[in-house]
Amino acid sequence: MIVTGLALGAVLGWVMQRGRFCVTGMIRDIFLNKTWRGFTALLIVIAVHAVGLAALTTAGVITPEYKQFAPLAVVLGGLLFGMGIVLAGGCASGTWYRSAEGLIGSWLALVFYAGSAAAMKGGSLNALNEGLRSWELPITTIHGSLGLSVWWLVIPFTLGVAFLTRHFLAQEAKAPKMATLKPKKTGLAHLLAEKPWHFYPTAAIIGALGVLAWPLSAATGRNDGLGITSPSSNLSKFLVSGEDTVDWGVMLVLGLLVGAFFAAKASGEFRLRVPSAEQAVRSVIGGVLMGVGASAAGGCTVGNGMVQTSLFSYQGWVALLFIAIGIGVAAKLWLKPTDAVPGQASNPTPNQPSQSQSSPRTAQSAQSTQSAAEQKAMAAELGFQTTGTLLLDRKATAAESAESSGIGGDSDLGRDSDLELVGDRTYKLDTLGAVCPFPLVDAKAAMADLSVGDSLQIDFDCTQATDAIPRWAATDGHEVTNFEQTTDAGWTITVKKGS
C-alpha cells in the first residue's frame, strides 16, 4: 500500500527537521569552515544504507536495477545541481522540510525544482535530457566491474566511516562546550520536539529508514528506495495534468512535508518568512538548476548521494563528487558577506556631517527604512508573519546607525562598518530574513572588525544557525553571553570576542 510511503515520509521529515539534516550544508562546510564533520554524517547514511541494502539483496528481498553510466549527463547534471542547491539554500530533501518550516523562498525553489524536473522527464526539456544521457558506458557498479561481491566494498567502507565518526566525536568531546538554548520542556518532549538532534544519530536513523523504504516501496511495484526528484516530478505532473502518477514515492515526499511541519510547530520553529527580492530570484534560479541537474544526473543528494552511492554505482559516486564541486564553485561565487556587514558598504568619511546636520544620505536612508516598514505592514495585513527586516531595511538601518553613532572611517573598529551600536561595546548585526549560511558568514565578517572584548548581537531566523553560530563561537574562542529564542523561528545570540 502506498500509504506506507506517507507514514515513512512523515517520520523522515520529523527526523530531518529535528536534525537540521541538509547535505548542502555538510558539503558546504568543507569549503567554508574547513571541516569534514558534517560530511561524515552523510557517509554514515551511506554506510548504514550499504549494509542494509547489501543484506536485503543477498537475502533476495530486493533486486536493485542499475542504469548504465552516462558520464556527460552525470557530470554536468551534478555540477548544475550542486550550484543550484547553494542558490536555493538547501538540497532536495532540505528544500522540502524547510518549506514545512515556513520559508517561502523554499516554496519557490520547490515549485521550480519540481516543474523543471517534470520538464526534463517527458516534458519540454525531455530532448535535452535524452541527449545528455545518450552517451553511455557499459558499466554500472564498481564491484560489478571488479567481479567481486558487494560485501568486499561494504565492509571496509563501513569500518572507515566508523573510524571517521569516532575521530570527530573525540574531537567534539575535547572542544569547548558550545552554548545551547535554555530548555522549556522536559523529558521525552524535550528530546523529541525541542533539543536539536546530533548529526550522527540523525544520520544513522535516516540510513535505517532508507533501508526500510526499499522493501516497502517494492511491495507496491516501485523497485526503488528513498528518492526526491522523480516523486517531485510526478507530483508536479499530477497537479498540472492529472496524470495518474501518485505512487509510493509521491506519498513519501508528501509525508516528508507533513512530518517536518509538525516537528517545526512542536519545536516553535515554524513561521512564514518572506525572502528578500534577491533571495527570491536566487531560489527560482536554484530550483530550476536543481530540477535540470538532478534529472540529468539520475538523482539528487538522496537518490544519488545516499542510495546509488550505497549500491556502489558509478553514477552515485561520480554524481556526488561533481555535486560537491558544484557546491564549492557556488560557495566561491555567491557565499560572501552581504552589504550590511563591515567592509561591504560605502560609509561616511571622517569629514561626515555632525549628527545635528541633515545629509541626503540620511534622508534617503530614512525613506528606505520607511519603505521597508510599509512593505512589512502590508504583508502583516495579509496575514503573513514576515521576517523582521528585509535586505533593504537592513542596509538602510545600518547606514543610518553608522552616521548617528559615528561608526566609520575614524572609529575604533579600524575600518568601515555598518554595525549598529546598541550598548557599551556591543554592536548589533541583523540577519533576519537571511538564509543559511549567511547569518554565520556575516557574523564572521563582522567579528573580524571588532576588538577583543567587543560584543556582537546577532539576530537571526535561520533554524540551522541555532547550531552553526554557537558552534563557531566555541570553536573560535568567543564567549556567548546571551542566547535565547525571541519568537517562533526567531533567535538572538550575543557573542563576546575572545583573544
- Tell me the mean pLDDT in the region 270-275: 93
Whether 342 is covered by a domain: the verdict is no
- The pLDDT tens digits of the residues spanning 212-226 come to 999 999 999 999 999
Whether 339 is covered by a domain: the verdict is no
* Whether 317 and 394 share a structural domain: no
- The pLDDT tens digits of the residues spanning 16-27 come to 999 999 899 999
Portion of the chain with pLDDT greater than 90, in percent: 74
Domain CATH code at residue 439: 3.30.110.40
- The pLDDT tens digits of the residues spanning 457-467 come to 999 999 999 99
Say what the pTM is: 0.84
Read off the pLDDT band of 96 (50, 70, 90): very high
Alpha helices in 59-103 (DSSP H): 71-88, 92-99
Whether 345 is covered by a domain: the verdict is no
pLDDT at 33: 87
- Tell me the mean pLDDT in the region 175-191: 91
* Whether 436 and 480 share a structural domain: yes
Read off the pLDDT band of 433 (50, 70, 90): confident
Within 10 A of 383 (CB to CB), how many other CB atoms are there?
7
228: left (phi over 0), alpha (psi -120 to 50) or beta: alpha
Query: What pairing do the DSSP bridges indicate for beta strands 455-460 and 490-496?
Result: antiparallel
177: pLDDT strictly greater than 80: yes
Whether 344 is covered by a domain: the verdict is no
* Whether 140 and 24 share a structural domain: yes
Number of separate domains in the chain: 2
And the C-alpha cell for 165? Answer: 565518526
Nearest-angstrom CA–CA distance, 88 and 91: 8
pLDDT at 397: 44
| Residue 443 lies in domain | 360-496
Whether 226 is covered by a domain: the verdict is yes
Read off the pLDDT band of 339 (50, 70, 90): low
Read off the pLDDT band of 337 (50, 70, 90): confident
CB 278 within 8 A of CB 391: yes
What's the gap between Cα 287 and its chain centre?
Answer: 13
The secondary structure of residue 148, as a DSSP letter, is -
Helices (H) and strands (E) in the chain, counts: 20, 5
14: pLDDT strictly greater than 60: yes
* Whether 276 and 418 share a structural domain: no
353: pLDDT strictly greater than 60: no
Whether 74 is covered by a domain: the verdict is yes
What's the gap between Cα 274 and its chain centre?
Answer: 17
Within 10 A of 436 (CB to CB), how many other CB atoms are there?
25
Q: Where is pLDDT greater, at 340 or 171?
A: 171
CB 260 within 8 A of CB 88: no
* Whether 384 and 284 share a structural domain: no
Alpha helices in 268-387 (DSSP H): 277-297, 309-310, 314-334, 360-381
- Tell me the mean pLDDT in the region 437-462: 93
pLDDT at 1: 82
pLDDT at 436: 87
Q: Where is pLDDT greater, at 384 or 202?
A: 202
* Whether 170 and 235 share a structural domain: yes
Query: What pairing do the DSSP bridges indicate for beta strands 490-496 and 420-423?
Result: unpaired
3-state class (DSSP) for residue 337: coil
* Whether 279 and 377 share a structural domain: no
Task: State the residue for C-alpha cell 505592514.
Answer: 377
- Tell me the mean pLDDT in the region 273-281: 91
What does the angle CA 449 – CA 328 – CA 156 come to, to the nearest 5 degrees? 120
Read off the pLDDT band of 484 (50, 70, 90): very high
Which residues carry out catalysis?
436
Whether 347 is covered by a domain: the verdict is no
* Whether 327 and 402 share a structural domain: no
Among 300, 334, 368, give the residue marking a domain's end: 334
* Whether 92 and 235 share a structural domain: yes
Query: What pairing do the DSSP bridges indicate for beta strands 426-430 and 455-460?
Result: parallel
* Whether 316 and 425 share a structural domain: no
Read off the pLDDT band of 418 (50, 70, 90): low
pLDDT at 346: 34
Whether 292 is covered by a domain: the verdict is yes
pLDDT at 374: 53
Average pLDDT, the chain: 86
Read off the pLDDT band of 312 (50, 70, 90): very high
* Whether 442 and 318 share a structural domain: no
3-state class (DSSP) for residue 460: strand
Residue 128's H or E segment, with its range, is helix 126-132
* Whether 276 and 392 share a structural domain: no
- The pLDDT tens digits of the residues spanning 108-163 come to 999 999 999 999 999 999 999 999 999 999 999 999 999 999 999 999 999 999 99
